[in-house]
Amino acid sequence: MIKKYLLTISVFLTGTLIASAQETHAPPQPPPSMFETAPELTFVAEDVAGSGQDYDIAFSTPRAGCKQLLDKAERLYREAVRLYEEGKTGRAKECFNTAIETLQHADNDAHVYYQMKSEMDNLFRGLRWLVPEHTGADNSFENQEYTIPMAVENKLVEKYMTIFSHGKPSITIRRALAVSGKYRKMILTILNEYDLPRELVYLPIIESLYNVNDCSSKGAVGLWQLMPERARALGLKVNYWIDERKDPEKSTIAAARYLKYLHIMFDDWHLALAAYNRGEFGLVRDIEAARAVTINQISNRKATPDETEYFVPQFIACTLICDEAFSSGNAPALEEPETFDEVILNDIVDIGIIATCAGTNSWRIRQLNPALKSWCTPPNYPGFKLRIPRGTKKKFLSALAAVPDRNPSPGYIKYVVGKGERVNDIAKKFQTSVWSIKKANRLVNIKNIKTGETLMVRPGKDYFTR
């Protein structure tokens, strides 16, 4: 009876939950796990046949063999969760199956499972919530289910499926998919919070190839390629000091809010995506002029500029190809997310000082904080969250507290060019180099300086020792 009961659970877990997980590829919160909530003591019962009395239940220590099997099953379960979150669904399914099979051989007493009645109820409640009614549908690539329609008979989709599957475009997409591992879990979490389709995790591949520093010819920046005005409207700071379009988490929240708004506005995911590229008001003008309401009509009637016409088919093709890579176990190894400590700064701090206090260099600080544009943290930004290398927070705060001037002068002085003076003469006067003056003043041609012009000059060390 016990094995039959366990087999039922096995069928549910391996035949429905895992099938559903593979169809969505968005790692859901696992249902309540018997491994996490099982009591540590086993229960045994003695029944006097025909006595008509209830069982007498007594505590007993777990049998050694049973305990070892439970430990093994738990290890397999943990490994399956890890593999699934890395996108390795095929290997994850094997570990889930093996974990269930191992439990079947543990041969626990029935009272163990009865005492876990509430946990089992939660398990089945979770399964009924996660598993769609058509659990009998196969889990092949062709039968994947999407919130955003993918089965589109569109020549452009077929065209980009072919292009993205071969040669350099294929290599480029696989490289971007690997990089997406740094942000995948964060993005999927935010998409879930905003009740958005998990397929949108692939949108940054089309937008930026998952490059936080990517900048388009039109000025769109970051993973999600947001324009400055749109980003500000969505609550991001974009100014001389900081550009939060380059902050992966903040820009993802902004993009999620925008996509949610676009879907509400158009009530169609293809149109919402087209509007994300074109702008909602531009798309409204286009589709009204052409009376186009579907992706096919937009393409056939040339309702939008080429970039927008191609955008949705490119996204569909990319999503299908990336999902197929995960389904077949052919996906590239995903990069690990950045690990860091976070500190709150209320004052302006020079990035060089930040790097010194954290025991690293300015390049690493800028890598962890790609939104920073200037030499220091942004002014008028109380509560600014700064990322520093993991494990350095205590050292950093101690070292920073001992710094008297956190935004020191770089040592430049203003110098007014005299009549007939050249850059060489000024460099010699201040014991510095021509290159230093040229760089500080962004001079294209050092011969073009004029009398009365003001230059920024940083004197060399020897200048102060004369």
Catalytic positions, written as ranges: 207
Distance CA 228, CA 255 (A): 13
Per-residue DSSP letter, 213 = T
- Which residue stretches of 89-201 are H helix? 89-104, 110-114, 117-130, 155-164, 167-179, 184-193
Tokens of 304: 């939008």
| Half-sphere CA count of 462, side-chain side, radius 13 A | 7
Instruction: Extract the runs of DSSP E, i.e. beta strands, from 182-280.
Output: none
Residues 6+ apart with CB under 8 A from 350: 375, 376, 406, 407, 408
Q: Angle, nearest 10°, between helix axes 155-164 and 306-327?
A: 60
Q: Which residues lie across from 454 on neighbouring strands? A: 416
CA distance 356 to 351: 9
Distance between alpha carbon 180 and the CA centroid of its chain, in Å?
7
Which letter, b or e, does each residue of 301-334 get, where b requires 16 or more Cβ atoms within 10 Å of its Cβ? Answer: eebbeeebbbbbbbbbbbbbbbbbbbbeeebbeb
In angstroms, the CA 346 to CA 381 distance is 7
